[in-house]
Amino acid sequence: MSIVSSANIIAYLEVSSYSSGIQTIHEGIEVFVKNVSGQPFESTVYINKSYDGPGGNTLRLDEIPIISIKYIIIDPYDAIKIKNTMTDSSLASVVVDATNITLTIEGGTGAGSDVLSKATNTTMALLVAAINAQSANGWSAEICDADYNALLTSQLYAQQIECVQENGVAQDWQYLQMGELAKNIKFNNKTGEVYSESGFPKGFQNIIATYTAGYATPPADIVFFIMDTVKTLYSIKTKNAEGITSSRFGDVAYIYGEIKKAGLNIPESILQSYRNIRI
C-alpha cells in the first residue's frame, strides 16, 4: 500500500500513464520517507509482532501514531504438547509465525513440510486435530488443558521447536506456548507508549502485539513532499540531468547532493517533525 496513490502521482506530474520509471521513483521516495521518519504513514496492520518485555507497566510500540490495538499477549504458558515419532528422520521441527504452524521433517520416509494455517485452524482444538491428521508423518499433539480447547491460535507465540531424533529414538513432548492478554490497555497514539494494568514482564521476545498504526489520511505535508519530490526527480530524469548539483525552475530552486550514493540532495526538513526515534 502506498502513502500517495499512483493516480495522484500521474495527476500531479500531468502525464498520461504510470510508467515503470515513475513507479521506480515513486516507490523509492516512499521508502526513503518511511526510513527517515520511522513511520508507515498509511494505515498498516502489524500482526503478532514480538517485543522484548521491558518490565513495569509501560511498553513502547515501534510504529506511530497508533490507530488501535487489537491485543497484547504476555505471560507465556504451555498450551499444546507436540512430538514426532519418525525415528528414521534427522530432524523434526515446528515453526509458529504470524499466520501458520509449519511442521517440517528432514530425512527419512516422512521428509517434507505440512503448513497448517491459523486462519483455518482458528482454535487450539482445531489445531490439535490438524496436527494429528499428519500422523502418517509421525506427528501427534495433545492439548495441555481441556479449558484451552476454545482459545484462539492467534494467541500462540512466534516460536521454533526442534524435535531432534537421538540414536533413532524420538524425542519426548515439546510445547507450543501461548499467553494471557494484557489487561486494561491504554495508549498514547503519538508516542506509541502502551500502559497495561497487568504489566509487561521482563524477557526476550515474550510480548506479542497486534495493532494498527499510521494515518487514516496521510498528512498533507507528507503527501506534498512525496509528490513534489517525485516530480522533481522525474523532471531531472527526463532532461537527463541526474548529475546536476543545482537546478532552478522559475523562482523555485532545488539543490541536490545529500543522498550521496545517488548524487542527489532531497530536502528532509519536512520529515523532521515526524521522526519516530526508538530507544
For the chain, the domains span 6-41+215-274, 45-213
Q: How many CA atoms lie within 13 A of 92 on its CB side?
A: 29
pLDDT tens for 98-129 read 899 999 998 888 899 999 999 999 999 999 99
Q: Which three cell numbers stand for residue 235?
A: 523532471
Cβ atoms of 276 and 37 closer than 8 Å: yes
Distance of CA 39 to the CA centre of its chain: 13
Long-range pairs for 143-151 at CB < 8 Å and ≥24 separation? Answer: 143/79, 143/80, 144/78, 144/79, 144/80, 144/81, 144/175, 145/79, 148/79, 148/80, 148/124, 148/178, 149/123, 149/124, 149/125, 150/123, 150/124, 150/125, 151/79, 151/123, 151/124, 151/178
Specify the length of the chain in residues.
279
Question: If DSSP codes are grouped into helix, strand and coil, which group holds residue 171?
Answer: coil
pLDDT tens for 211-259 read 999 888 889 999 999 999 999 889 888 875 454 555 555 555 555 444 4
Q: pLDDT by residue for the chain (279 residues), tens digit each? A: 789 999 999 999 999 999 999 999 999 999 988 888 888 888 888 887 889 999 999 999 999 899 999 889 887 789 999 999 888 888 889 999 889 999 999 888 889 999 999 999 999 999 999 999 999 999 999 999 999 999 999 888 888 888 876 665 667 899 999 888 888 999 999 899 999 988 999 988 889 898 999 888 889 999 999 999 999 889 888 875 454 555 555 555 555 444 443 444 455 666 766 777 655
Cβ atoms of 213 and 64 closer than 8 Å: yes
Helices (H), the chain: 6-13, 20-37, 124-132, 220-238
Give the pTM: 0.61
The whole-angstrom separation of Cα 210 and Cα 153 is: 13
Q: In 17-99, at which residue ranges do the beta strands (DSSP E only) sit?
A: 44-53, 58-60, 66-84, 91-96
Residue closest to 257 by CA, chosen among 249, 248, 266, 269: 266
For 205: left if phi > 0, alpha if psi spans -120 to 50, otherwise beta; the answer is: left
